[in-house]
Homo-oligomer: A and B are copies of this chain.
Amino acid sequence: MKQIILRAHPQGRPRADDFAVEEVPTPVPGPGEILVRTLWLSLDPLIRFALDETVLTGAARVALGEPVYGGTVSRVVESHHADYAVGDLVEVRSGWREYAVVDPAQQRMGFRRIDPAAFASPNAPLSAALGIIGMPGQTAHSAVEIGRVAAGETVVISAAAGAVGTIAGQIAKMRGARVVGIAGGPAKCRAVEAIGYDACVDYKAPDFEAQLAAAVPDKVDVYIDNVGGDVTMKVLPHLKMKARMPVVGFISYYGDGMEAPGPDRMPGFLRFVMSRSLEVRGFAGQMTGGQKALDDLAQWVADGKIRSIETVVDGLDNAGTAFADKFGRNDQIGKLVVRVGKE
């Protein structure tokens, strides 16, 4: 079988040649274990954290020569566990490879049996288990919930064209908010508007700040942040007193460790936190939303109230390039998934 290993720890932005494809024997499951075949692989920007030579305590870590870490939708092809039958579908963090041996007793976060009923609707591709009916969906659901988005409010969402952004914007619209996205480049902004955002502002445009000001004439009640850095600093002056700011991610800094090259933006950030009485909330999306969020999302997708938006890359061989593109060209819209094997 094929797998993709980490060849070099990325320095800053990941590059395609930080990864290498290799052929290895298909592993053999032991007692209590199952063998799964990868159907879909999730390319989550958070994987970036696991690729550094030194990783913060508690985070996953990929050593050189090891298969890259990542969530998949996989099918059981051999089972030595009473609860799993051949043909069953699971979500499992089995990594960038075609087959994996999994011990269900050892699995914790990110492992679940997939209920085919949630994907019975023609609106719900199985890959959405890694997207809108999966972790990014739960995260978006939680962000809107933690931000207490209410009808008539103005919500700004950064990385609006990303996996979480495309979903959070749709849920905020369902709640009756005015939703303004921030994305990079005119093509992504048009895509964001096509999803249903009321407006989208291009952070790469020379007049970004003026565009942003024009898009939020009534100021901002909730800022769902996926990026951090310069974009966030430019949003802060538009936040209302007591605005809520769920922190989903900070992709602009994912190439950095604890510190990035200066200047230090903390003074400005804390100044706004204090003077605007902001509520900044981090959250582990998957844990916060839980099954309730997944059920909501599956129902909304089946009813056509929200749509699965994804960019599909064909073939495991292309995973490294697609992942590197996320931090470089970054022209993907919605959840980025790799079709590893036929369903």
Q: Is the CB of A270 within 8 A of B247?
A: yes
CB distance from A222 to the nearest CB of B (A): 15
Output the nearest chain B residue to A245 by Cβ-Cβ distance.
B280
Cβ contact of A229, chosen from B233, B266, B272, B283, cutoff 8 A? B266
A277-B283, A278-B282, A279-B282 provided; 17 other pairs, C-beta below 8 A?
A56-B271, A228-B266, A247-B273, A248-B274, A253-B267, A257-B267, A259-B263, A260-B262, A264-B264, A264-B265, A265-B265, A265-B266, A270-B282, A273-B280, A273-B282, A279-B280, A279-B281
Q: Is the CB of A270 within 8 A of B228?
A: yes
| Residues of B with C-beta under 8 A to A276 | 282
**Residues of A with Cβ closer than 8 Å to B?**
56, 58-59, 228-229, 233, 247-250, 253, 256-284, 288
Output the nearest chain B residue to A250 by Cβ-Cβ distance.
B270
CB distance from A226 to the nearest CB of B (A): 10
| Residues of B with C-beta under 8 A to A280 | 273, 278-281
Output the nearest chain B residue to A228 by Cβ-Cβ distance.
B270
| Residues of B with C-beta under 8 A to A262 | 259-264
Q: Is the CB of B274 within 8 A of A247?
A: yes
| Residues of B with C-beta under 8 A to A266 | 228-229, 250, 253, 260, 264-266, 269
Q: Is the CB of B278 within 8 A of A281?
A: yes
Q: Is the CB of B282 within 8 A of A277?
A: yes
* 10 A–B pairs (Cβ distance < 8 Å), ordered by A: A249-B274, A250-B267, A253-B271, A257-B268, A258-B268, A262-B262, A264-B264, A264-B265, A265-B265, A277-B282
| Residues of B with C-beta under 8 A to A56 | 271, 275
CB distance from A336 to the nearest CB of B (A): 20
Q: A269 vs B267: C-alpha distance in the bound complex, in angstroms?
A: 12
Cβ contact of A284, chosen from B256, B269, B270, B277, cutoff 8 A? B277
| Residues of B with C-beta under 8 A to A259 | 262-265, 267-268
Q: A229 vs B266: C-alpha distance in the bound complex, in angstroms?
A: 7
| Residues of B with C-beta under 8 A to A228 | 266-267, 270
CB distance from A146 to the nearest CB of B (A): 9
Q: A280 vs B146: C-alpha distance in the bound complex, in angstroms?
A: 13
